Structure 1
C-alpha cells in the first residue's frame, strides 16, 4: 500500500510551505517516486507544486494534483453532505496514489473558504487516505507561554479525531521565543515537536512579487535585481540630506516619480553600498526624464525602478500585507526554506518514524541528496578562490544555509561585501576577530594583503627551489588566488579547494600538481564526471585532465574511477570504451584499450570490467544481448572510461546538452588532498554539488589518516 504524509495547518499564516518543501526533500532522499495531492485549493494553478516539480524533477502531471476547488467542494458539501465530499476527494487521491511509493498530501489553507470545520475535514481526509499527519502551528507574534498550550491543543484535536500524528511543527516563531518554546515542548509530548524560527528572508517579498501585486511597470532592472528581497520600505518625502540616513539594507524606496533628487540619491547610495537597496518604486504615474533615467542606469545598472499610478499612501496600504511566496520563480527562497527545515528538524528520526523503505537504486535526486547529507555529517572547510564571482556567492549562500561546510572566500573583502549586497544575498561573513559559532560560516581572506602571504611565499619557494623559484618571486606567485587557496589546503588551514568557474582547468589544478602532488600509490591524477541522467547516475572518466593516456595510465584511470564511484554509492561496473566491442576490431587504439583492460583485471580481479566495448553495448541491454551476451557489465555499465580526452570531453558535453543530464564535476582523483575544478559554464547547483563532493573527499581522507 502507498504510504502518505499529510501536512495540515490549524489556521492561516503558518508558513507550512516550508514544512511541505522540507518533507519533499526528506521523501525524495528515500524513494524514487513521490506523488503530490492537494485535496482543496482556490485555483487550478499550484505554485508550491510547480516549485516541487521543478526542484525535484517530478514527472507527475500538474492536472492530477488537485482534488477539487473550494467552490466545487462547498457546493458538493451543501448539496450532498460531508460524507460525499470526503468520498470524492479520497477517490481522487487513489487515482494518483497507485503510481507512487509515497504521496505527500498538502492540507487546506483556511483562507477565505466556506468549508465549515476545516480542521476536522483535514483530519478525516488524512484518516481515509491512510496518511500520517504533521500538524503545523503558526507561531508568528506569539510568546512561548502562548505556543505551548496551542501545540498541545492542536495535537489533541488531531489525535481525538483518530489521526496518527507523526510529529508537530511550530513555525515562524520569533527568535526571542524559539529556544524557550523548544525547551518547554521537547520531551513533554508523545510525538516529536520541532520549532522553526521566523526567517525574514522567507517572509520578504521579492521585487518581482511587488511588481506583480501592484501591477507596476518596470522602467529599469534585470532579472537578478527583480529577484532581490524587499526587507523594508522607506518613503521619500524629505529633502535628500534628511532622507539618506533613513535608507536601510534591502529597502524598497517609495517616492513620487518627480523626485529626481531622491531617485538619484538612493541609487548613488546603493552603488556605494551605503546601503544596498532592493530598488525604487515611483508613485503618482510620474516618470523621470530621460537624463535622470540614463544617469540612474549608469549609477546602478540592474537595480529595479518600478512605477505605479497610485499615490504613496494607497501603495503603502497594498504593500502592508504582502509577504514572500515560495514559487518556481524563487529558487533562492526554496533553498532558504530547506536549510531552515534541515537545521531544526531531525530528518533521520522523522524518516525512521515514517518507515519508508529506501529504493534499491540511486536516482539522480537521491545522489544529490546523499552528497548534501554526507557533507553535513562532518563539516569541513572548503576554500573558494573565486570569492567575488556571482555564481560562487549564490552557491555559498546555499552551502551555508544548508550547513554543507564552512567556507573561506578569497578576494578583496570590500568587493565581496559589495557584491553580496548588490545580489541581495543573506551571506553573513565573520569579522577578522570574530569567533565562529555552531552554524556553518564563511570568512574572507585577501591574498594580496593577508599576513599569510609571506609565510606561503617561503613554503612555495621551498617546493619550487629545484626550478629556481626565489622567495621574492614566490611572493608574487602566491598572491594568485588559486595558488593561495592551494597553499591553504597544503598547510592545513583549509581541508579542500574548489575553483574554475572563471579560471581554466590548467590555472586551477597546476598549483595542486606543484604543491599538493599525487597521493601515495597513485601514478596519475585523473578526473570523473558524475552524469545524473533521468533515471540513473553514471561515472565518466577521464574527461578533463589527461589528453591521451597510454594503456598503463588508462588502467589507473579505470581503477581510480571505480573507487570514486563506490565511494559515492554507485556500484562500479566498468566499461573500457572503444569503437569496437570484444574481438571484432583491431588497431592501435583498440589494442590500447584491450591492454588496459587486462592490466585492470590483473591488478583488481574483484572489479567487474569489460573492454574494449562500444558505448551502446555498455549501457543498452538490448544492444548488449547482441554484441556481448555473456558479459556481466554490458548493458548495465556504471563507470565508463574513455580512451582519450577528446572522446570523453565531447561525449560528456553531448550527453549533458542533448539528454538534459546534470554533470557534476570534474572531480579530481589521485591528489594527496582534495582540489576540484569547475566547468566555466557551471550553474549554482553544480557548484554546490561539487563543493559537497569535495567536502566528502576531505572527510574520507581524514578517516584514512586516522586508520
Structure 2
C-alpha cells in the first residue's frame, strides 16, 4: 500500500505546482494525517508549502519539511559522493514518514542547481523513500509531436530507473492540441496519462505581485483588487476612444501618470463591466491630482492604481518577464488550479492507484472535500437569488473555478457585473438574470397565479410577486430551469422557504419539511435535526423528522444510527415530553424496521460509549449515535450553536428535507465557505431528484 507519492518532472517550467496541489487535495480527502517533504530547497520562502500549510491547516513543523538546501546538498555530494547525499535525505524523509499516514514528496525543480543528472537523483530518492512516482512533463510552447515524444521518454526514463510510476501528467499544453495529444497518448503507455491544457490565469501575475516586482507605490486599491490576475497588458498613449477599443478583460492598463483622461476613461469602462480590468499602472512617477483620484475611487472602488518611477519601455520589459505563482497570498489561483486538475485528471482512478491508507476519522476538511467531489460527479444547476451580495459572488467564483455546478445568479444584471468587476471576480461561466426584466416573468406569473388561485391571487398580483428574487428562483426550480436554489445570506429564513412551501411543496412521503445540520467535529460527522424549522413537533412529526434525517445522513455518507433525545434515558423518566419522544421512537421502529434507533436517550448516553455502557448496556445505538433528533427547536437550535462555538465544530446547514425539489437556507452570517458547502449539498440533493437536469435556458 502506497505511503508516499513523489511528484517530479524532467525539466523546469512544467507548472507541476498544479499537480502537487491536486494530489494534496486528493490525499486529504482520504486521510487526516498527510505530511509534506521537499528533499532539496532554495533559499527564500517556499510559496507552495506555505499555500499547502494555510489551505490544509497543516500542523507539521516547517523545519521537518525540508531535507537540505541545494548549496549544502551540492557540497555534500562533491565531498562525500551521491550515496552519502541520498542517505542523509532518506534519514530526514523517514523522520516525517513515521508521523504521518501518507507523505507528499515535492521533487527537485531543475532551477539553478548543480546536479548533472537531476532526473536520476529524483528517481533514486523516490525508490529509496519507497514512494510511487507521478512525473509531470511540461508542454508549453511545444508542438504536439514534441510533447508526445517527451512524455514517452519521461516514462521510459523513470520506469527504466526502477520507479513505480503511478501515472503521467502532461501539463501546460496548447489548448488547441490538448484533445489530439490526449487521444494519441491513450492506451499507448502501461499507465494512465492525463493531459492538462495551459491556463493563462495561472501564469498571469497578480497586481500585488507586479507591485512588489516593480517596487510600485499603491495609490488606490484594496486587498481584493490587488489579488486580481493581470491577464494582459495594454499600453495607453493614444486618444481615449482608441484605448477603450484595445481593452481586454483582466488587462492591466499602463499609461503615463499625466494622462488623467485615460485613467478616468478606463476606470469608467471597468465600472460598466465593458470590460472589467485588473487595474492601472502609472509611469513617470506622475500621479493625477486629488480630485481625479477621488473621482477614480468613486468610479471603481477597490480597483488598484499603481505608480512607478520609470517610463513605459523599461516597465514593459520587466512586466513581460513576470510569471504568476501559486502561493498562500493567491487563493483564487489555487481554486483555478484545482478546478483544472479535477477536470482533466481522473481523480477516481488516481486515488485508486495511490491506495492511500483509509481512515475511520472524518475531519471537517475531508467532509467538505467529499461534498465538492460528489457534486462535481454529475453537474447540476443551482440558482442563487442574492446575486449582488459580495459573499455570494465570492462563493460563485469558487464554485465556477472548481467546476462544482452550473450557476444562475439573480438580480439587476448590470449591478451584478459592476459588483463583480469591483471585486475582481470572474463570473464568465454563470448565467445572469434580472427577474424584473426576464422574458420568463409572464409565464411564471401565470404559473404562480394558477397555484395560488385558491388564495385569490390574480395574474396581475402574481406578476409583481414573481419579480421577487426568491419567488423567481423557486419558480425556476419548479419549472426545470434550475435544479435547486440557495438563498438566505441577506434574506430571512421565512423569505427563503415560504415560496418553496407555496410552489414546490412537500414530497408525497414527507409529513413536513424539516432540517438538519451536519456537525463536523474533529474526527467525525454527526447529523442534528431539527434545529431550524419546526418549533414543537408532535410525536408523528418527530418520527417523520427522524426518518428524513436518517435518509439525508445516508445520502451524504453518514451511516444512520438514530438517537431520539430527551432528558431521560430508557424507562427512567416519565411525563409528556418524554412520552412524546418514546411514541415517536416506536413509530419509526414500526414504519422503518431497517433503521437503528434508540429513544428516549440523553445526549451523553447517545455519543459516549462509557456512559452508554452504564445507562443502556447492549444497545446498538447508544454510545455511537450519528443522527441526533432533538425534541423541539429550542433544544436543537441552542445545542447546535453551543457545540459549534464551544467545541469548534463546523456546522454545515441548515439542509432542508422533505421538499419535492431542493431549496436551502443560509444563515445571514454565512461565510463564503458555508455558501460553497450549501450549494454543493443542494446540487447533490438534486442528483437524487427524479426530475431531469435543468435546461440551460
Aligned equivalent of 1:67: 67
* Structure 1 residue aligned with 2:6: 6
Instruction: Please say if 1:642 is aligned against 2:630.
Output: yes
In the TM superposition, what is the alpha-carbon distance from 1:212 to its structure 2 partner? 2.6
* C-alpha distance in structure 1 between counterparts of 2:614 and 2:50, whole Å: 43
Q: Displacement, 1:14?
A: 0.8
| Residue in 1 that maps onto 2:543 | 555
Aligned to 1:165, the other structure's residue is in SS state coil
- Residue 278 of structure 2 is aligned to residue 290 of structure 1: no
Aligned counterparts of 2:671 and 2:643: Cα–Cα separation in 1 = 17
Q: Are 1:618 and 2:606 an aligned pair?
A: yes
Equivalent residue in structure 2 for 1:668, among 656, 662, 684: 656
* Structural RMSD (CA): 2.4
Shift of 1:87: 0.6
The separation in 2 between residues aligned to 1:455 and 1:76, in whole angstroms, is 77
**Structure 2 residue 255 is matched with structure 1 residue 255:** yes
5 Å-filtered alignment, 1:201-350, equals 201-350=201-350
- Tell me: CA distance 1:394–1:464, structure 2 relative to 1, closer, same or farther (3 Å): same
TM-score, with structure 1 as normaliser: 0.92
* Aligned match of 1:439: none
For 1:473-552, list aligned pairs within 5 A.
473-552=461-540
1:50 Cα offset (Å): 2.5
Instruction: Structure 1 unaligned segments of length 5 or more: list them.
Output: 430-441
* Distance of 1:481 and 1:201 partners within structure 2: 33
Compute the displacement of 1:574 (Å). Answer: 2.0
After the TM superposition, which residues 72-471 of structure 1 pair with which residues of structure 2 at under 5 Å, given as runs? 72-429=72-429, 442-471=430-459
Distance 1:43 1:624, change over 3 A: farther
CA contact (8 A) 1:379 1:405 kept: yes
Distance 1:260 1:629 in 2: 80
* Distance change in 2, residues 1:611/1:481 (3 Å): same
- Give secondary structure in 2 for the equivalent of 1:701: coil
C-alpha distance in 1 between matches for 2:258 and 2:497: 55
Secondary structure of the corresponding residue to residue 688 of structure 2: helix
CA contact (8 A) 1:2 1:97 kept: no
What SS does the aligned partner of 1:135 have? strand
Question: What SS does the corresponding residue of 1:164 show, helix, strand or coil?
Answer: coil
| 1:291 to 1:403, Cα distance in 2 relative to 1, 3 A | closer
Mapped to 1, the partners of 2:673 and 2:25 lie a distance apart of 15
Gaps of 5+ in 2: none
Q: Distance in 1 between matches of 2:207 and 2:516?
A: 40
Q: Helix, strand or coil for the counterpart of 2:689? A: helix
Normalised by the length of structure 2, the TM-score is: 0.94
| Distance change (3 Å), C-alpha of 1:204 and 1:704 | closer
**Residues 1:249 and 1:343: Cα distance change in structure 2 (over 3 Å):** same
Higher mean C-alpha deviation, range 105-114 or range 361-370: 361-370
Deviation at 1:588, TM superposition (A): 4.4
State the 1:625 CA deviation.
Answer: 4.5
2: CA distance between counterparts of 1:43 and 1:604?
63
Report how far residue 626 of structure 1 moved. 5.1
**Number of aligned pairs?**
693
Distance in 1, Cα, partners of 2:209 & 2:476 = 42
Q: Are the aligned partners of 2:240 and 2:265 in contact in 1 as well (CA < 8 Å)? A: yes
Query: Shift in Å at residue 108 of structure 1?
Result: 0.9
Structure 1 contact 2–103 (Cα < 8 Å) conserved: no
Change in Cα spacing, 1:44 to 1:614, as seen in structure 2 (3 Å) is farther
Contact (CA 8 Å) 1:4, 1:105: kept in 2 or not? yes
- Give the Cα–Cα distance (whole angstroms) in 1 for the partners of residues 692 and 514 of structure 2: 20
CA contact (8 A) 1:576 1:643 kept: yes
Once residues 73 and 597 of structure 1 are traced to their aligned partners in structure 2, the CA distance between those partners, rounded to angstroms, is 67
Question: Per-residue displacement from partner, 1:331-364 (whole Å, max 9, x unpaired)?
Answer: 2211111111111111222222333353345443
Comparing 642-651 and 124-133, the one that deviates more = 642-651
Change (3 A) 1:2 1:133: closer
Shift, 1:96, TM fit: 1.2
SS of equivalent residue, structure 1 residue 548: coil
Instruction: Say if 1:44 and 1:66, in contact at 8 Å, map to a contact too.
Output: no
Give the superposition deviation at 1:514: 0.7
- The separation in 1 between residues aligned to 2:210 and 2:569, in whole angstroms, is 60
Distance in 1 (CA, whole Å) between partners of 2:293 and 2:249 is 22
State the shift of 1:476 in Å.
1.0
